[in-house]
Amino acid sequence: MEKVKQGTFYEYLLQEAVKATGKTKLTRELMKKTVFTVFFSENETTSRLMQKRKEIFRDLFPNVMRLFELIKSQQHRTLALLLQNIESEIFLNRIARRIARERPDLPIFTIHDSIVTTVGNETYVKMIMR
Protein backbone atom coordinates (compact mmCIF):
# COMPACT_ATOMS: atom_id res chain seq x y z
CA MET A 1 0.00 0.00 0.00
CA GLU A 2 2.83 2.39 0.78
CA LYS A 3 4.31 1.95 -2.69
CA VAL A 4 0.94 2.78 -4.26
CA LYS A 5 0.50 5.83 -2.02
CA GLN A 6 4.01 7.03 -2.87
CA GLY A 7 3.46 6.47 -6.60
CA THR A 8 6.38 4.02 -6.80
CA PHE A 9 4.50 0.73 -7.12
CA TYR A 10 5.57 -0.05 -10.69
CA GLU A 11 9.17 0.83 -9.91
CA TYR A 12 9.09 -1.47 -6.88
CA LEU A 13 7.56 -4.25 -8.95
CA LEU A 14 10.24 -3.74 -11.60
CA GLN A 15 13.07 -3.81 -9.06
CA GLU A 16 11.77 -6.99 -7.44
CA ALA A 17 11.12 -8.69 -10.79
CA VAL A 18 14.70 -7.96 -11.88
CA LYS A 19 15.98 -9.44 -8.60
CA ALA A 20 13.79 -12.53 -8.97
CA THR A 21 14.47 -13.21 -12.64
CA GLY A 22 17.89 -11.68 -13.22
CA LYS A 23 16.50 -10.08 -16.37
CA THR A 24 17.72 -6.51 -16.59
CA LYS A 25 15.74 -5.55 -19.69
CA LEU A 26 12.43 -5.44 -17.87
CA THR A 27 10.64 -2.07 -18.05
CA ARG A 28 8.08 -0.05 -16.10
CA GLU A 29 5.71 -0.47 -19.04
CA LEU A 30 6.04 -4.26 -18.79
CA MET A 31 5.24 -4.04 -15.08
CA LYS A 32 2.07 -2.09 -15.88
CA LYS A 33 1.12 -4.81 -18.37
CA THR A 34 1.84 -7.40 -15.68
CA VAL A 35 -0.56 -5.71 -13.27
CA PHE A 36 -3.25 -5.43 -15.95
CA THR A 37 -2.75 -9.10 -16.80
CA VAL A 38 -3.20 -10.06 -13.14
CA PHE A 39 -6.25 -7.85 -12.71
CA PHE A 40 -8.14 -8.50 -15.93
CA SER A 41 -7.21 -11.86 -17.43
CA GLU A 42 -8.79 -15.20 -16.68
CA ASN A 43 -7.21 -17.23 -13.89
CA GLU A 44 -6.39 -20.07 -16.27
CA THR A 45 -4.60 -19.13 -19.45
CA THR A 46 -2.58 -21.03 -22.01
CA SER A 47 -0.37 -18.05 -22.77
CA ARG A 48 3.12 -18.63 -21.36
CA LEU A 49 3.71 -14.87 -21.34
CA MET A 50 0.62 -14.23 -19.23
CA GLN A 51 1.53 -17.06 -16.87
CA LYS A 52 5.05 -15.65 -16.44
CA ARG A 53 3.66 -12.21 -15.64
CA LYS A 54 1.31 -13.72 -13.09
CA GLU A 55 4.17 -15.66 -11.50
CA ILE A 56 6.12 -12.43 -10.97
CA PHE A 57 3.15 -10.86 -9.21
CA ARG A 58 2.32 -14.05 -7.25
CA ASP A 59 5.88 -14.32 -5.95
CA LEU A 60 5.74 -10.77 -4.60
CA PHE A 61 2.13 -10.67 -3.43
CA PRO A 62 0.90 -14.24 -2.84
CA ASN A 63 -2.03 -13.27 -0.61
CA VAL A 64 -3.24 -10.58 -2.99
CA MET A 65 -2.96 -13.01 -5.90
CA ARG A 66 -4.98 -15.65 -4.04
CA LEU A 67 -7.66 -13.08 -3.27
CA PHE A 68 -7.81 -11.91 -6.90
CA GLU A 69 -8.03 -15.50 -8.13
CA LEU A 70 -10.85 -16.18 -5.67
CA ILE A 71 -12.75 -13.08 -6.78
CA LYS A 72 -12.32 -14.09 -10.44
CA SER A 73 -13.01 -17.80 -9.91
CA GLN A 74 -16.62 -17.77 -11.15
CA GLN A 75 -16.32 -14.94 -13.68
CA HIS A 76 -13.00 -13.28 -14.48
CA ARG A 77 -14.67 -9.90 -15.11
CA THR A 78 -15.80 -9.68 -11.48
CA LEU A 79 -12.55 -8.08 -10.28
CA ALA A 80 -12.67 -5.44 -13.03
CA LEU A 81 -16.27 -4.60 -12.17
CA LEU A 82 -15.46 -4.43 -8.48
CA LEU A 83 -12.53 -2.08 -9.12
CA GLN A 84 -14.70 0.12 -11.35
CA ASN A 85 -17.33 0.33 -8.62
CA ILE A 86 -14.75 1.29 -6.03
CA GLU A 87 -13.30 3.92 -8.36
CA SER A 88 -16.70 5.47 -9.05
CA GLU A 89 -17.58 5.43 -5.35
CA ILE A 90 -14.39 7.31 -4.49
CA PHE A 91 -14.33 9.80 -7.36
CA LEU A 92 -18.03 10.46 -7.92
CA ASN A 93 -19.74 9.81 -4.63
CA ARG A 94 -17.06 11.10 -2.32
CA ILE A 95 -14.57 13.48 -3.95
CA ALA A 96 -16.79 15.13 -6.59
CA ARG A 97 -19.76 15.28 -4.23
CA ARG A 98 -17.68 16.97 -1.52
CA ILE A 99 -16.27 19.50 -3.96
CA ALA A 100 -19.77 20.23 -5.29
CA ARG A 101 -21.03 20.72 -1.72
CA GLU A 102 -18.14 22.92 -0.58
CA ARG A 103 -17.57 24.84 -3.82
CA PRO A 104 -20.73 24.56 -5.96
CA ASP A 105 -19.41 27.20 -8.38
CA LEU A 106 -16.18 25.30 -9.12
CA PRO A 107 -16.23 23.48 -12.48
CA ILE A 108 -14.92 19.93 -12.25
CA PHE A 109 -14.91 17.05 -14.69
CA THR A 110 -14.21 13.46 -13.72
CA ILE A 111 -12.27 11.23 -16.09
CA HIS A 112 -11.92 7.76 -14.59
CA ASP A 113 -9.47 8.21 -11.70
CA SER A 114 -8.83 11.90 -12.38
CA ILE A 115 -10.55 15.19 -11.78
CA VAL A 116 -10.04 18.16 -14.07
CA THR A 117 -10.69 21.70 -12.93
CA THR A 118 -9.84 25.25 -13.87
CA VAL A 119 -6.41 26.84 -13.45
CA GLY A 120 -5.86 28.06 -9.92
CA ASN A 121 -8.05 25.41 -8.27
CA GLU A 122 -5.66 22.47 -8.56
CA THR A 123 -4.39 22.73 -4.98
CA TYR A 124 -7.89 22.64 -3.52
CA VAL A 125 -8.95 19.65 -5.64
CA LYS A 126 -5.71 17.82 -4.82
CA MET A 127 -6.25 18.43 -1.11
CA ILE A 128 -9.77 16.99 -1.27
CA MET A 129 -8.52 13.97 -3.22
CA ARG A 130 -5.85 13.25 -0.63
pLDDT in tens, 56-78: 888 888 999 999 999 999 999 99
Q: Which residues pair with 108 in a beta bridge?
A: 117
Query: Which ranges of the chain does DSSP label H, i.e. alpha helix?
Result: 2-6, 9-21, 28-40, 48-60, 62-71, 77-88, 97-102, 122-129
Q: Which residues pair with 117 in a beta bridge?
A: 108
Per residue in 93-127, pLDDT (tens digit) is 999 999 999 999 999 999 888 899 999 999 999 99
* Its pTM surpasses 0.85: no
In angstroms, rounded to a whole number, what is the distance separating the alpha carbons of residues 3 and 14?
12
3-state secondary structure of 58: helix
**Please, are residues 125 and 109 in contact by the beta-carbon 8 Å criterion?**
no
